[in-house]
């Protein structure tokens, strides 16, 4: 994707690809449908990519970059570990809902990538999880999170409840991103705090 | 699958199919690999099924039947709504871990089924979700669950954290099914209770 010169154009290509992957399923999606979605010829799209998989990988990598920007913002907050986790959860869910269907495609289709590319994404996931585990451990050390469950288990439960959003969220639903994010974050934070 | 005469044999066929689907991915899995896994000829397997999809559907339908048996058990408990939700969460996670990789295949591959079959599964999911929402509403009415989040949203957050288990659980991991179930249920129940 490095060869796509204009940032605006690159964003449009990625957007069209994720729309088609979500609508048709990654396996059934064709480069032709993505070109149709963009209103360009298939040959023009091949100036920028070698294969359909490039568009999946570029989209999922972009999602990691966006989430890493959220993590960096949350790290900079003047806040307790639990407040950081609350901010992380809200922003993460707002990102999932506002970029729908990117995360739905992520969690359904990431395993279609080649082994090399899956390893790249897995390494970025590990850094993301490390951030969550570190915050939870810090909250436990302050007596603000349930000490009876190991931090990695709490992190998996928290991340599971966030990933779940990409399974059921519909942009035409009754609830807006901010309200969905608030509900998820309230549930998850109470879960981390544990029994009073 | 109705034509598979011996129950033991049917269970073995389903088990072999889910093993291969999980290992190779549903799209790449072949009827030949499933026959190899069973140590029989591919032609013999075709006595029992018309297509690979029959084996995916039969496996996912079996998972619904098993989970419905759990729901029926939980309904019969002499317990408060919140205690019912705790029992439901523990048993559901124990089921996910003890039948691994069935639920992993479910959440990755269910959308590969034909539209008719997806509708059958969706109807069973709706009944399952209804059970969870009803329990949460009953708990809210007793002042035992967070009243500031609508029951359907709490149900989605709860179910999301359970589905998450099928994403990261590994049978050779350090934690056994019972401990994983306890941790998930403690997190989820605290999440339902909300802020003290």
Write the ipTM.
0.86
- Whether B74 and B87 have beta carbons less than 8 Å apart is answered as yes
CB contact under 8 A, B160 and A163: yes
The rounded distance, in Å, linking the Cα atoms of B24 and B19 is 9
pTM of the model as a whole: 0.88
Tens-digit pLDDT profile for residues A67-103 = 999 999 999 999 999 999 999 999 999 999 999 999 9
The rounded distance, in Å, linking the Cα atoms of A153 and A133 is 9
Tens-digit pLDDT profile for residues A107-124 = 889 989 999 999 999 999
**CATH of span A54-193:** 1.10.357.10
- Whether A187 and A157 have beta carbons less than 8 Å apart is answered as no
Nearest CA in chain B to A105: B108
**Chain A: nearest CA to B48, how far in angstroms?**
28
CB contact under 8 A, B190 and A153: no
Judge residue B36's burial from the number of C-beta atoms within 10 Å of its C-beta, 0-12 exposed, 13-18 middle, 19 or more buried. Answer: middle
- Whether A183 and A120 have beta carbons less than 8 Å apart is answered as no
Number of other residues whose CB lies within 10 A of the CB of residue A84: 22
- Look up residue B78 and give its DSSP letter: S
The rounded distance, in Å, linking the Cα atoms of A188 and A193 is 9
Q: Which helix (H) or strand (E) holds A147?
A: none
Quick one: which of B12, B148, B108 has its CA closest to A163? B108
pLDDT band at residue B175 using 50, 70 and 90 as cut-offs: confident
The rounded distance, in Å, linking the Cα atoms of B70 and A162 is 25
Interface contacts (A, B; CB < 8 Å):
112
Does B17 touch chain A if contact means CB atoms closer than 8 Å?
no
User: Of the candidates B164, B186, B193, which has its C-beta nearest A159's C-beta?
Assistant: B164
**CATH of span B53-193:** 1.10.357.10
> What are the residue boundaries of the structural domains of chain B, listed by start?
53-193
| Four-CA torsion B123, B128, B131, B132, nearest 10 degrees | -130
């Amino acid at each position: 994707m490095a060869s796509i010169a204009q940032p605006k154009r690159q964003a449009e290509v990625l957007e069209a690809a994720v729309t088609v992957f979500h609508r048709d399923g990654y396996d059934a999606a064709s480069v032709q449908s993505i070109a149709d979605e963009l209103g360009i010829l298939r040959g023009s799209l091949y100036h920028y990519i070698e294969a359909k998989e490039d568009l999946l990988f570029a989209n999922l990598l972009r999602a990691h970059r966006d989430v890493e920007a959220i993590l960096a913002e949350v790290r900079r907050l003047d806040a307790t570990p639990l407040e950081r986790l609350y901010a992380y959860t809200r922003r993460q869910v707002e990102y999932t809902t506002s970029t729908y269907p990117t995360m739905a495609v992520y969690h359904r289709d990431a395993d279609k990538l080649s082994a090399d590319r899956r390893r790249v994404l897995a390494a970025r996931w590990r850094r993301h999880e490390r951030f969550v585990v570190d915050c939870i451990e810090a909250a436990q050390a302050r007596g603000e999170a349930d000490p009876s469950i190991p931090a990695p288990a709490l992190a998996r439960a928290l991340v599971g409840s966030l990933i779940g959003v990409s399974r059921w969220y519909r942009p035409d639903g009754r609830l807006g991103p901010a309200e969905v994010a608030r509900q998820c974050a309230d549930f998850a934070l109470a879960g981390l705090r544990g029994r009073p």
